Chain A
Amino acid sequence: MVQNLEYIAAMLLYVTGLGIMLFHSNLIKKIIGMNIMETAVFLIFIAAGYVRGGQPPIALPGEPLLLPVNPLPQALILTGLVVSVSITAYALALLREIYRHFGTLDAAEIARRKGELT
């Protein structure tokens, strides 16, 4: 139970993020929820590569590498973070334009004003 603490934390984060995305009508909060959800996935990936009591996976000259953690998930998640940052940046840029066009960031209000436009 305690050994899998990081997975439980990740699932809680995932559900929290998804909940925020689904149930909040404020678009900025939706982006925050999206980020929390992605962080949860990153945490699962990193946790999968962690070895309890492991060393950094760097081989120094003369020192044997006894119990390295898996470096691959860390490298992958670094890529994932870059992707996540660029999506957040683009989403925020879109939000700025949405605010300029509709004058609000409330999803229900935007749907109403869009109905008026057409």
Chain B
Amino acid sequence: MTTHLVVLPILVLLVAALILPLVREPRRASLIGVSALAAAFLLWLALAFLVMRQGAISYHLGGWPPPVGIEVIADKLAVFFGLTVFLVAIPTAVFAGVDMPAEAPEPALSSFWTLYLLLVLSLLGLAQAGDLFNMYVFLEISSLAACALVAVVNRPANVEAAFKYLLLSTVGSGCVLLAIALLYMITGQLNLAFLARELEHQAPLYPKNVIGAGTFLLVGLGVKAAIFPLHTWLPDAHASAPSPASALLSGLVVKVYVVVMVRIVWGTLGRAFFTLLPFKSVLLLLATISIFLASILAMAQTDLKRMLAYSTVAQMGYIFLGLAAGSRTAFAGAILHIFNHALLKGALFLAAGAVIWRTGRRRLAELVGVGHTCPLTLSFFAIAALGMVGIPGTSGFVSKWFLLVGMLQQSSPLLAWVVLISSLLNAAYYFPVIILGFFGHGTDNELRFHLDRIPPELLLPAGSLALVSLFFGLWPSFPLHLAQDIAHDFFL
């Protein structure tokens, strides 16, 4: 009975997602959405507790054991990412309950919740998938749901961004499917564990298939995780989406593909693969360019949400940099950064969304002096922004610290400089927003200081994400130990 716990959270979300289109009333739809998420979270907590106590659990769908049956895995990586998903998705859902009626037309609201739950369940499914084809199906669910969330608001910019996103992510899925075909051809397996075992014998015989599969995986997952030069869709999609959707897309969706990459490349293809292909060197190079290019482009933005979107591209660069740096400490730092960046970017997008809800402004020039009318919201924004820069005491500091230590241990100071110098660039575009927001004088002479006139349903989610991230910056042991365990399991 207890093993069914592995798939129950996904099932709860799936059932709720399928019921929601029948619900016409927006308030009831958001209530069902939030309570389904809460129920799934409780089940996930129980699962996490079980996995922490007795190790990874393998669930066989329909009772058929692999390689014939489908395997669902609940290991530390899945549990870690799932907790991240719920920590971001639940506050965002509360936020969406108030914010979405202001952004989207009423008939679109219940389908918004269907898409929201489908997206969350696809993220959980991707983190837990134990075979390649299951991964592919969840990959497609996640990209369809993500695109549709961008286009929930039927404005020209949204529809265009969603189309671009859909086209590119379909190319990405096609590449992943081709990689799966190439691996299936030589091994005859789709289950990850069996594939890994078979590949040890087959990889020396068919090196070209393995090289081809690795390249297509890098391109396919690279498009979806927005690594340079495949990031062009992200700023449009994440900036134009409604704020809660942006928080989900930027905080969680791009990162699930990193989890998938860790599971396939590090967990399955393994050592033989890294000797055949300069995978890590390519990843290092692309990540470095991503970090610098996106940080510089972020400085040039005039729109708040677009700036945050470019910052996501840069932060994804840190994660790839840590994975490919070749040090176990940096690998743990990268895994930890998945968690930290998810919370921070979620807080930033929700705070930005609350400011936009209150003032209707999103251009940076118009947000000067916004700290006088939204002091609490801007404070939450500031906490998260400091975390992005990596100021000591915030959670961003901890993961960047581990990246740095790992790179220095690996005696590659050049990579350490990349992290340090780009942190300066991060400060260069986050600090002006905060300083001008609190101390600048706006154009409309509304200088009288008053507390935010923002409903608590908008304020609390942004605040809770910022404060939770601050908590894990001061006491990082729980996510850190999990990340180190994951690095121990997967690092090569």
Contact = CB atoms under 8 A, between A and B. Distances in A.
A76 interface: yes
B144 A117 contact: no
A90 B184 contact: no
B181 A41 contact: yes
A60 B360 CA distance: 69
Given A87-B170, A102-B156, A41 B148 contact: no
B181 A48 contact: yes
Given A44-B181, A101-B156, A114-B156, A86 B151 contact: no
Contact of B178 (A41, A90, A91, A98): A41
Interface string B186-222: 0000100000000000000000000000000000000
Nearest to B163: A94
A44 B178 contact: yes
A87 B140 contact: yes
B354 to A, nearest CB: 23
A80 B166 CA distance: 16
Nearest to B182: A44
A87 B156 contact: no
A73 interface: yes
B171 A27 contact: no
Contact of A90 (B148, B171, B181): B148
A30 B177 contact: no
Given A37-B174, A97-B154, A114-B160, A30 B167 contact: yes
Interface in B132-158: 133, 136-137, 140, 144, 147-148, 151, 154-157
B177 A41 contact: yes
A90 B133 CA distance: 22
A117 to B, nearest CB: 6
B242 to A, nearest CB: 16
Contacts of B154: 97
In the complex, which range does the number of interface residues on chain B fall in? 20 to 34
Contact of B166 (A37, A87, A114, A117): A87
Contacts of A14: 178
Nearest to A27: B163
A38 interface: yes
Given A41-B178, A87-B140, A34 B167 contact: yes
A91 B163 contact: yes
Interface in B422-451: none
Contact of B184 (A45, A80, A97): A45
B166 A91 contact: yes
A9 to B, nearest CB: 14
B62 to A, nearest CB: 14
Contacts of B133: 76, 79
A30 B144 CA distance: 17
Nearest to A73: B184
> Which of B173, B177, B190 has most A Cβ within 10 Å?
B177
A98 B160 contact: yes
B308 interface: no
B170 A45 contact: no
A95 B177 contact: no
B163 A117 contact: no
B162 interface: yes
B174 A38 contact: yes
Interface string A20-45: 01000001001100100110010011
Contacts of A95: 163
B174 to A, nearest CB: 5
B40 interface: no
Interface in A86-118: 86-87, 90-91, 94-95, 97-98, 101-102, 110, 114, 117-118
A67 interface: no
A101 B148 CA distance: 17
Contacts of A8: none
B159 A98 contact: yes
B204 to A, nearest CB: 20
B185 interface: yes
A83 interface: yes
B181 A83 contact: no
A79 B133 CA distance: 10
Contacts of A86: 144
Interface of A: 14, 18, 21, 27, 30-31, 34, 37-38, 41, 44-45, 48, 72-73, 76, 79-80, 83, 86-87, 90-91, 94-95, 97-98, 101-102, 110, 114, 117-118
16 contacts: A37-B171, A37-B174, A48-B181, A48-B184, A79-B133, A83-B137, A87-B170, A90-B166, A91-B167, A94-B162, A94-B163, A97-B154, A102-B160, A114-B160, A117-B156, A118-B157
Given A37-B171, A83-B140, 12 more contacts: A30-B167, A41-B174, A41-B181, A44-B178, A45-B181, A48-B184, A76-B133, A87-B170, A90-B144, A102-B156, A117-B156, A118-B157
Top 5 closest pairs, chain A to chain B, by CB? A101-B156, A48-B185, A45-B181, A97-B159, A94-B163
